[in-house]
Structure 1
């Protein structure tokens, strides 16, 4: 049975442990049911991220919000998402039913052959970018009978083509938060590829595998891990996070350093983000992902 995290209108489902070094998670949203679901948030806020993904709009549509106030950009019904270097937002004009899969970027590079650097900040029509076997998979996923069948199709493709022996699987399954595990997985992937474990060798290949410099990957990953852990600890203790202590425990120079990096990833300070997650339904992704 898959581990799931649920809201009334959205679900995160985790892959089998054997594929956790490749597939980060599945994300499902459905607001097409009764009136209470149709009134679910149509504005969707997302953080900057190291991950790649594919999203299927099975019913309804979505458009990207222009942060400068321009006209919204309609998005493809099968959408390829590259790593995002800044927070972003979309809007659903009406009820939607969506299914998405989130990949570790180095694994997505291996599976598709695409240079991840060409996908950074992209929200692209999947059928125009992916290689033929993946376009066929996209069609099969769209027409599958249910979400369980969609996951099975993706996992069959991944199990056939992903070389899990490169050490990334073991690294990602180790103890620690997802962001820091991911950086260890990338280093293991470099070492297993005969490139050595040095920062210099990792930097040379990080742009192809992950689309971004190692330094940016590191602060994105640390911010994700820190914010997830802070929210988890707050929920368990019932106490508002002490951000100075959170910053110290995560290795930031001080609270201001944590605030600057959180602003780069989410558009908000840690305190502002926590209040938004607790009170504003447009932050449902943050609520669910944590």
Structure 2
């Protein structure tokens, strides 16, 4: 039995757009026992579970209520079942700290109750979302709840560094630091606090995400690797295996619908 689901994204308001990439919904009926893989994309996500439980296989956690999924540097597996009804907030890289003061490196590969970071108000928000019938109304409720939480602004230098790494093909971390005017150690401290990775770790993740989006079946894997800055296949395979759980040659989008959905809908 195949999974049948719908995924939609909603744009944030002008006030929230500097911090929130999108709001999203995932709804479907999942057969028991099916396992989905979620490749890392470098973002923190707030997830409201409005349906049946979802089990996260990396540590046996069961998702009920509201959770924060920290940014990741490895593949996650989950086992949804029954009626899946998820509503999420995807924060822009380096922007979650505007709502919570926790250093982001402490959230790496973590899944934890949202109230631990955002306070009890997020559970009241969950109850409101559960009782609301439309996704558009849920977006408005979340934005109304988050506006008072906004207590900071991301570092403009870190944001410029992130933009450079995503936009400029093949740029080295050293060249990026020189371009924005900070030394590596200073950038590393700021990245760990605001982004949750070292600059080199984030660069590896960006390179992988660029590569997997180029794998459209019309270009050789060797060409994809070279275009994304992998100068030998061994490094390409090593990173791909860490982030996707298989080699580039083994990856089939049609066999990984949730991963493929994120690839199509989430920017690098």
Shorter-chain TM band? 0.7 to 0.9
Aligned to 1:241: 219
More strand by share: 2
Task: List aligned pairs for 1:25-40, cutoff 5 A.
Answer: 25-31=22-28, 37=29
Secondary structure of the residue that 1:54 maps to in structure 2?
Answer: strand
Indicate how the Cα distance of structure 1 residues 283 and 108 shifts in structure 2: closer, same or farther if over 3 A, else same: closer
Aligned to 2:265: 289
Q: Is 1:198 matched with 2:183?
A: yes
Aligned to 2:44: 52
Task: List aligned pairs for 1:38-117, cutoff 5 A.
Answer: 42-66=34-58, 72-117=60-105
Aligned to 1:262: 240
Indicate how the Cα distance of structure 1 residues 213 and 285 shifts in structure 2: closer, same or farther if over 3 A, else same: same
Q: How many residues align?
A: 256
Aligned to 2:19: 22
Q: Of the candidates 230, 245, 248, which is equivalent to residue 252 of structure 1?
A: 230
1:80-129 Cα offsets, whole Å, 9 max, x none, are 10112210111123121111111124210122112212211111111233
Flag structure 1 segments of 5+ consecutive residues without an equivalent.
1-6, 32-36
**Is contact 2:95–2:154 with CA below 8 Å preserved after alignment?**
no
1:173-222 Cα offsets, whole Å, 9 max, x none, are 97995798xx99xx89xx7xxxx533221112221112222211111122
1:220-278 Cα offsets, whole Å, 9 max, x none, are 122112222x04xx3xxxx43311111111122123322211111111122222x2x12
More helix by share: 1
**Is contact 1:62–1:90 with CA below 8 Å preserved after alignment?**
yes
Say what the alpha-carbon RMSD is for the aligned residues: 3.7
Distance 2:164 2:58 in 1: 38
Distance 1:269 1:111 in 2: 37
Aligned to 1:4: none
Single out whichever of 44-53 and 158-167 deviates more from structure 2.
158-167
Q: Is 1:12 matched with 2:9?
A: yes
Secondary structure of the residue that 1:56 maps to in structure 2?
Answer: strand
Q: Of the candidates 182, 197, 206, which is equivalent to residue 212 of structure 1?
A: 197
The normalised TM-score by structure 1 is 0.72
Distance 1:87 1:168 in 2: 29
Indicate how the Cα distance of structure 1 residues 44 and 124 shifts in structure 2: closer, same or farther if over 3 A, else same: same
Q: CA deviation at 1:46?
A: 0.5
The normalised TM-score by structure 2 is 0.77
Task: List aligned pairs for 1:82-161, cutoff 5 A.
Answer: 82-132=70-120, 134-156=122-144, 161=150
**Is contact 2:6–2:26 with CA below 8 Å preserved after alignment?**
yes
Distance 1:164 1:152 in 2: 22
Distance 2:17 2:83 in 1: 31
Indicate how the Cα distance of structure 1 residues 52 and 165 shifts in structure 2: closer, same or farther if over 3 A, else same: closer
